[in-house]
Amino acid sequence: MTNLLATHEPAGKAAHQTLTDAQLYGLCKEYGARALEARRRFTGLLPEVYKRRLYAKKGFGSIFEFAAKLVTATAGSR
């Protein structure tokens, strides 16, 4: 996976502004696929989190709170 943003970033301009439409569309598709895969992997961990009651050990009131807050924290770079 090539990071087009790293290779197309001239000084003083936002990286996405220098991409062609095709490159920008390609990045959107690539990042969207990565996000979907990450969501699937995260969801796959939840049964084990529940089994171990890891959510409670970490101070969350429920598995739902655990999942919601970690997803939100990840999106906000917690």
Q: Pseudo-torsion of CA 71, 74, 75, 76, nearest 10°?
A: 120
Q: Over the stretch 1-56, which tens digit does the pLDDT of each residue have?
A: 455 555 444 454 688 889 999 999 999 999 999 999 999 999 999 999 999 999 99
27 vs 14: CA distance, rounded Å: 15
State which residues form the domain around 13: 4-75
State pTM to two decimals. 0.67
One-letter identity of residue 67: A
- In the chain, the number of structural domains is 1
